[in-house]
Amino acid sequence: MTPSRRATLQWMMSAAMLPLARWSPPAMAAESGAAPPFDIVADWPDTLPEPPPAKGYGRDPDLTKPVAPWPLTLSKAQRTTVDLLGDLILPADERSPGAGTLGVGAFVDEWISAPYPIQRADRAQVLGGLIWLDAQSRAMHGAAFDAITPAQRVELLDALTAAAPAAKMTAPVAFMDTLRYLFVLGFYSLPEGKADMGFIGDQPTPGDYPGPTPEALAHFAEVVDRLGLRES
Amino acid sequence: MTSGALDPAAAAADVIIVGSGAAGGMAAYSLTKAGLRCLMLEAGRDYDPQAEVNMFAPESDAPLRGAATPDKPFGYFDATVGGGWQVDGEPYTMQEGTDFRWYRSRMLGGRTNHWGRHVPRWGPYDFKPFSRDGLGVDWPIGYDDVAPFYDRVERMIGVNGGRIELENHPDSPAGCLMPPPKPRVTEMLIKAAAESLGIPVRPAHTAVLTRDMPDDVAPRSACFNATPCTRGCTIGAMFQTTTSFLPMAKATGRLTIVTDAMVSRVVMGAAGRAAGVEYVDRKTGVRHQAKARAVVLAAGTCETTRLLLNSGDGERPGGLANSSGQVGRNLTDSTGASFRAYVPALADRPRYNEDGIGGQHMYIPFWLYQQQKRGELDFARGYHFELGGRFGIPPAAALPRVWGPALKKAVRSASGATIGMTLRGEMIPNKDSYCEIDPAVKDRFGIPVLRFAFRWSQNELNQVAHGQRTAHAVFKRMNAVILDPALPPEKIITAGGEIIHELGTARMGADPRSSVVDSYGQTWDVGNLVLMDGAIFASGAHKNPTLTILALALRASERLAERFKSGAFA
Ligand SMILES: Cc1cc2nc3c(=O)[nH]c(=O)nc-3n(C[C@H](O)[C@H](O)[C@H](O)COP(=O)(O)OP(=O)(O)OC[C@H]3O[C@@H](n4cnc5c(N)ncnc54)[C@H](O)[C@@H]3O)c2cc1C
Ligand code: SF4
């Protein structure tokens, strides 16, 4: 673990910090011994193009005019695939639009193009994963991921979210873990995503903090009851 | 930037104050009110929260949604200027095998602009640790000496909080604290679960106003319960010296502030007295000297220590004020570890505004003093838990590996269902934890840098292991899913310095042979050189240090002003 990632994790839950969750990898089930989901599993690409040189925003950026100074690096085709995946991973429903349609693909591009260690590591996973996805799709269906049928995509995404992946699928599943969480982070930090979660906040509330609503308190009383805890 | 009446090049000040954070801010406030003309030298750039804090911007306005990076370790909008775990061109080094972190910012107001604001009072045991368990040293002063200053500091900086009513957690007299905010549901649940196991949960003491604090010069408003405090607070509700002590001290007409002024050493004069300091203009690299009748070092524990070590000469090869050999020794930080759980009982809970005053409203003070006294614990000293858990984006570890409609559903359901308990504990000074001057490395101004050595002892590891068992017992009591990997304490304890409570490297004592300063921060060796930050602590306690830094700085400043009045520096 890089120091910065570790430091981030240490602080993530600290009471002093923002409620915004930070990326921490979900536990990868150890070598499950599960059979591979497909007859042929494409190899994970062993080399990736070097990212172009780029600078971070430095230790004293103008916080009133936030900008990410590094260039975006996804190709047009890659971006199309990412947007497509966004609308599959977080699809439109009655509460909010799909993540691809909402433009979260641009956030994914900004993230994996950034010159910082965590983002560089995620870049390798995401770019490697996009290459793998097309290779796997071609091996199975003779066409890139963009060009296969919706049912064929479902089959691939199900394999990429297996609870206990086969040995050959560990890297592709880790890629999908990263990409899924990038979409979660990018989507639910937007106003549309906050509304989807029913988030209430970010609004000045002068006077004493009102605390939980009667409805929230009633729910709390039920929880305490169910857990057999004395209400204090 | 220069402001105020004094031209540092031309006139000698009464007092030079190095640093503008908690300690320096308090010194400037107290000394100028007492009629002394002060010159404050601050290494960081000028900083104005009113103009620079982007209080309301959503994280989605920031690069990477505001996520932490090496450039901004606590997120894009965090107020830290010019620093973080590293400052460009101003490195520090480590002995082989040491992992130490030193958090610095380079801005007027120092780390008060972006700190955590948890301000517990220390208790009687915390000042007499040796008497209790035979480890470390006692302070030359006790709780009763500091209590009146705690009372005043709480009223000066504005602290909200409730009663604690527990051993070694003294309550404030009436009139010191503002009312605390109501608890959130997550905090109420932790309280119910913890107290069923005999673990107390109490309202935290937080340096955030819950009532307006009128003032002619620097009026401050009550918190409006909405924005992340580590960005800084333009309405002055959270305590930072840039919206309180510094403008108030300036208004006396007796404070001159020079920013971008990196002090490199204390300059000695005749008769073993400090004559002033030398500093480097960080923008031009030009060296200057400033003179004063007394010098206050408040550059932050390690930087104050560095200044002493770099101010030696032929007569004082081990550094200035170091006849005891204790300068740089006894370095401590708080222990730290974080525990998290997903609470199924909180899934899909009813929404309401959970922002509150920014940080925690409730915390767990150390509660096992009696068991410890009876010898039932395998560690000395205490720890506390800071509590977290709010609506927001659930952490990845709390989400199942699913996609599509199931993922959207999982996010909604898990939002607000994750809680955290963050441990902060006391470290006992050990001979392997210290800082010294690296003989080979200089910063970009040519000033020799600090080299750290650091080691946790078994005591700290046992303490963290106990905390892990406690947090997990609380989680289990609410049928929660523990998200922490099962790791031994040496794997979950933070690195030295990571909790940013570095203390002790120029400790106070009753005996000049084993301490650097007296209880007023006055160095034994140099009568007009006074230290006012965490360097002078004789021990660390598990309680966050800044309220005590402020109380001791107030006490030291008033003693210094008295000495001026009695003609000691004529
Ligand atoms: C993220 C975070 C959370 C924290 N949370 C808490 C908390 O909840 N509770 C708590 O009690 N404490 C907390 N702290 C610690 C708290 O910020 C410090 O204890 C406090 O600021 C120390 O005050 P100080 O005056 O000694 O040092 P600082 O506030 O660091 O000020 C020192 C100043 O001196 C300047 N300086 C340094 N070297 C030189 C030099 N050579 N010449 C001139 N100027 C110099 C620096 O630039 C700085 O402005 C936290 C800190 C951080 C960063
Ligand atoms: S939550 Fe309150 S104290 Fe914190 S920044 Fe906002 S107004 Fe200031």
Residues facing B521 on adjacent strands: none
Closest CB to A224 among B45, B192, B352: B192
Q: What is the ipTM of this complex?
A: 0.94
Q: B210 and chain A: CB distance < 8 Å anywhere?
A: yes
Nearest to B23 by CA among B119, B125, B109: B109
The pLDDT, as a whole number, for residue B502 is: 98
Task: Give, for ligand 1, the residue of B16, B30, B111, B117 to mutate: max count of ligand atoms closer than 8 Å to Cβ.
Answer: B111
Which residues are CB-neighbours of B528 under 8 A, at least 6 positions away? B273, B274, B293, B294, B295, B568, B569
Q: How far is the CA of B22 from the centre of ligand 1 (A)?
A: 7
Q: Which residue of A lies nearest to B195 if distances are taken between CA atoms?
A: A232
C-beta contacts of B54-59 below 8 A and 24+ residues apart:
B54/A63, B54/A64, B54/A66, B54/B231, B55/B227, B55/B231, B55/B232, B55/B233, B55/B234, B56/A202, B56/B226, B56/B227, B57/A66, B58/A189, B58/A191, B58/A202, B59/A18, B59/A20, B59/A189
The pLDDT, as a whole number, for residue B304 is: 98
Q: B348 and chain A: CB distance < 8 Å anywhere?
A: no
Choosing among A111, A209, A230, which should be mutated to test the B contact, i.e. which has the most B CBs within 10 A? A209
Q: Tell me: the pLDDT tens digits for B507-521?
A: 999 999 999 999 999
Give the closest-approach CA distance of A106 to chain B in angstroms.
Answer: 11
CA angle A25, A133, A23 (to 5 degrees): 15
| % of chain B residues with pLDDT over 70 | 99
Q: Which residue of B lies nearest to A86 if distances are taken between CA atoms?
A: B404
Closest CB to B411 among A173, A188, A232: A188
Q: Tell me: the pLDDT tens digits for A42-92?
A: 999 989 999 999 999 999 999 999 999 999 999 999 999 999 999 999 999
Give the closest-approach CA distance of A178 to chain B in angstroms.
Answer: 9
Backbone angles phi, psi at B499, to 5 degrees: -85, -5
Which residues are CB-neighbours of A124 under 8 A, at least 6 positions away? A48
| % of chain B residues with pLDDT over 90 | 97
Nearest to B299 by CA among B335, B263, B325, B326: B263
Nearest to B100 by CA among B456, B541, B438: B456
Specify the pTM.
0.95
Res. B413: pLDDT tops 60: yes
The pLDDT, as a whole number, for residue B440 is: 98
Q: B226 and chain A: CB distance < 8 Å anywhere?
A: yes
- Beta carbons of A69 and B91 less than 8 angstroms apart: no
Confidence category of residue B201, pLDDT binned at 50, 70, 90: very high
Q: Collect all residues of chain A within an 8 Å Cβ-Cβ radius of residue B226.
A: 201-205
Q: Which two tokens stand for residue B295?
A: 């010098």
The alpha carbon of A25 is separated from its chain's Cα centroid by a whole number of angstroms, namely 10
The response to whether residue B545 sits with its C-beta less than 6 Å from ligand 1 reads yes
Amino acid sitting at position B500: I
Q: For ligand 2, atom 4, which residue shows the shortest CA distance?
A: B229
Output DSSP code: residue B517.
Answer: B
Res. B492: pLDDT tops 90: yes
The label of the residue with tokens 């002003």 reads B561
CB pairs under 8 A between A and B: 319
Taking an 8 Å cut-off on Cβ atoms, the answer to whether B359 and A210 are in contact is no
Q: How far is the CA of A218 from the centre of ligand 2 (A)?
A: 28
Choosing among B210, B238, B401, which should be mutated to test the A contact, i.e. which has the most A CBs within 10 A? B401
Q: How far is the CA of A60 from the centre of ligand 1 (A)?
A: 17
C-beta contacts of A209-215 below 8 A and 24+ residues apart:
A209/B181, A209/B182, A209/B210, A209/B225, A209/B355, A209/B356, A209/B357, A209/B361, A210/B182, A210/B353, A211/B181, A211/B182, A211/B183, A211/B184, A212/B182, A212/B184, A212/B185, A212/B188, A212/B352, A213/B350, A213/B352, A215/B350, A215/B352
Taking an 8 Å cut-off on Cβ atoms, the answer to whether B395 and A163 are in contact is no
Q: Tell me: the pLDDT tens digits for B155-190?
A: 999 999 999 999 999 999 999 999 999 999 999 999
Res. B567: pLDDT tops 70: yes
Give the closest-approach CA distance of A150 to chain B in angstroms.
Answer: 13
Nearest to B448 by CA among B197, B192, B205, B264: B264
The response to whether residue B208 sits with its C-beta less than 6 Å from ligand 2 reads yes
Which residues are CB-neighbours of B354 under 8 A, at least 6 positions away? A19, A200, A201, B184, B185, B186, B390, B391, B416
Question: E strands of A12-163, at which residues?
Answer: none
The alpha carbon of A67 is separated from its chain's Cα centroid by a whole number of angstroms, namely 21
- Beta carbons of A70 and A111 less than 8 angstroms apart: no
The response to whether residue B20 sits with its C-beta less than 6 Å from ligand 1 reads yes
Taking an 8 Å cut-off on Cβ atoms, the answer to whether B184 and A212 are in contact is yes
Q: B178 and chain A: CB distance < 8 Å anywhere?
A: no
Q: Which two tokens stand for residue A116?
A: 């910082």
Taking the C-alpha atoms of residue B46 and residue A59, their distance in angstroms, rounded to an integer, is 15
Determine the atom of ligand 2 nearest the C-alpha atom of B357.
1
Confidence category of residue A32, pLDDT binned at 50, 70, 90: low
Other beta carbons less than 10 A from residue B216's beta carbon:
7
Give the closest-approach CA distance of B349 to chain A in angstroms.
Answer: 7
The mean pLDDT of B496-505, rounded to a whole number, is: 98
Q: How far is the CA of B307 from the centre of ligand 1 (A)?
A: 16
Give the closest-approach CA distance of A24 to chain B in angstroms.
Answer: 6
Name the strand (E) or helix (H) holding B275: strand B274-281
Taking the C-alpha atoms of residue A56 and residue B525, their distance in angstroms, rounded to an integer, is 47
Q: Tell me: the pLDDT tens digits for B294-317?
A: 999 999 999 999 999 999 998 888
Nearest to B543 by CA among B122, B161, B114: B122
Which residues are CB-neighbours of B44 under 8 A, at least 6 positions away? B20, B81, B82, B105, B106, B107, B108, B110, B259, B260
Q: For ligand 2, atom 8, which residue shows the shortest CA distance?
A: B233
Closest CB to A21 among B69, B392, B477: B392
Output DSSP code: residue B208.
Answer: B
Q: Which residue of A lies nearest to B412 if distances are taken between CA atoms?
A: A197
Pairing of strands B287-297, B274-281: antiparallel
Res. B3: pLDDT tops 80: no
Q: Collect all residues of chain A within an 8 Å Cβ-Cβ radius of residue B195.
A: 230, 232
Q: Tell me: the pLDDT tens digits for B446-470?
A: 999 999 999 999 999 999 999 999 9
The pLDDT, as a whole number, for residue B6 is: 73
Taking the C-alpha atoms of residue B335 and residue B456, their distance in angstroms, rounded to an integer, is 9
Res. B1: pLDDT tops 90: no
Q: Collect all residues of chain B within an 8 Å Cβ-Cβ radius of residue A67.
A: 63
Taking an 8 Å cut-off on Cβ atoms, the answer to whether B195 and A25 are in contact is no
| % of chain A residues with pLDDT over 90 | 81
The larger pLDDT score, comparing residue B317 to residue B151, is at B151
The response to whether residue B117 sits with its C-beta less than 6 Å from ligand 1 reads yes
Taking an 8 Å cut-off on Cβ atoms, the answer to whether A12 and B485 are in contact is no
The pLDDT, as a whole number, for residue B12 is: 87
Res. A8: pLDDT tops 60: no
Taking an 8 Å cut-off on Cβ atoms, the answer to whether B396 and A95 are in contact is no
Q: B485 and chain A: CB distance < 8 Å anywhere?
A: yes
Give the closest-approach CA distance of A53 to chain B in angstroms.
Answer: 17
Give the closest-approach CA distance of B566 to chain A in angstroms.
Answer: 44
The pLDDT, as a whole number, for residue A35 is: 87
Q: For ligand 1, atom 33, which residue shows the shortest CA distance?
A: B19
The response to whether residue B429 sits with its C-beta less than 6 Å from ligand 1 reads no
The pLDDT, as a whole number, for residue A34 is: 83
Mean pLDDT of chain A: 88
Question: E strands of B414-495, at which residues?
Answer: 418-425, 434-442, 448-453, 481-482
Closest CB to B224 among A16, A114, A206: A206
End-to-end CA distance of chain B: 30
Pairing of strands B2-3, B255-258: antiparallel
The mean pLDDT of A187-202, rounded to a whole number, is: 97
The response to whether residue B303 sits with its C-beta less than 6 Å from ligand 1 reads yes
The response to whether residue B24 sits with its C-beta less than 6 Å from ligand 1 reads yes
The mean pLDDT of B18-40, rounded to a whole number, is: 98
Q: Which two tokens stand for residue A11?
A: 């602080």
The response to whether residue B207 sits with its C-beta less than 6 Å from ligand 2 reads no
Nearest to B382 by CA among B540, B182, B254: B540
Q: B308 and chain A: CB distance < 8 Å anywhere?
A: no
C-alpha separations of B493 from B251, B337, B414, B510 in Å: 45, 5, 27, 33
Mean pLDDT of chain B: 97
Which residues are CB-neighbours of B152 under 8 A, at least 6 positions away? B551, B554
Closest CB to A200 among B229, B353, B401: B353
Q: How far is the CA of B85 from the centre of ligand 1 (A)?
A: 13
Nearest to B343 by CA among B434, B454, B478: B478
Q: For ligand 2, atom 5, which residue shows the shortest CA distance?
A: B229
Determine the atom of ligand 1 nearest the C-alpha atom of B104.
30
Sign of CA dihedral B241, B247, B253, B258: positive
The alpha carbon of B72 is separated from its chain's Cα centroid by a whole number of angstroms, namely 18
Pairing of strands B383-388, B287-297: unpaired
The mean pLDDT of B231-257, rounded to a whole number, is: 98
Taking an 8 Å cut-off on Cβ atoms, the answer to whether A20 and B66 are in contact is yes
Taking the C-alpha atoms of residue B19 and residue B253, their distance in angstroms, rounded to an integer, is 19
The pLDDT, as a whole number, for residue B11 is: 78
Res. A28: pLDDT tops 90: no
Q: How far is the CA of B21 from the centre of ligand 1 (A)?
A: 6
